Amino acid sequence: MAGHFPFSGKANRVSVYAFFEAHNWSLEAQKVYFEHWFEWTKKFVQADPDLQASKGVLFAGEHPHFGTHADHDFHLHGYAIATRLLDLGEFIKGAILPKLDHDALHALEEEHHHWVKAADAVAAEHPRPEAPEIGRYRHV
């Protein structure tokens, strides 16, 4: 069931960004989607004694930043949120999803469906700009 999340399977920043592109999400919509995942993960970590003890400090701040690239957008065209989601997704995939039973995974799938709809609504208000002619992964 977890295969429906953009960081499931053999995910990388390209596959996560491809998920964003498939939905035609602007940076504002991507941010809303990421923030849903971050808040869900933060609540899960705070409720789980083992994760709270080992990873709680990663979720102690006020801002939804996570991962090695949390505060850096070193690619052209706004790949920071995709990279941030990949970092968070790797944590979710390795530390949280194995703890969920079938019913909890099903509930997460349903919640995920609502997060996608919320990001779609933001994308409708803030459309994604047209891509320029240069390659997407040129470093600055």
At 11 the three-state DSSP class reads coil
CA–CA dist 102, 106 (Å, integer)? 6
pLDDT, one tens digit per residue, over 19-78 is 998 999 999 999 999 999 999 999 999 999 999 999 988 888 766 666 666 566 655 556
CA–CA dist 62, 45 (Å, integer)? 15
Confidence of residue 13 (pLDDT cuts 50, 70, 90): confident
CA–CA dist 35, 65 (Å, integer)? 9
CA–CA dist 118, 115 (Å, integer)? 5
The rounded radius of gyration (Å) of the Cα atoms in the chain is 15
Residue with tokens 């099903």: 106
What are the domain boundaries of the chain? Answer: 9-125
pLDDT, one tens digit per residue, over 85-99 is 988 999 999 999 999
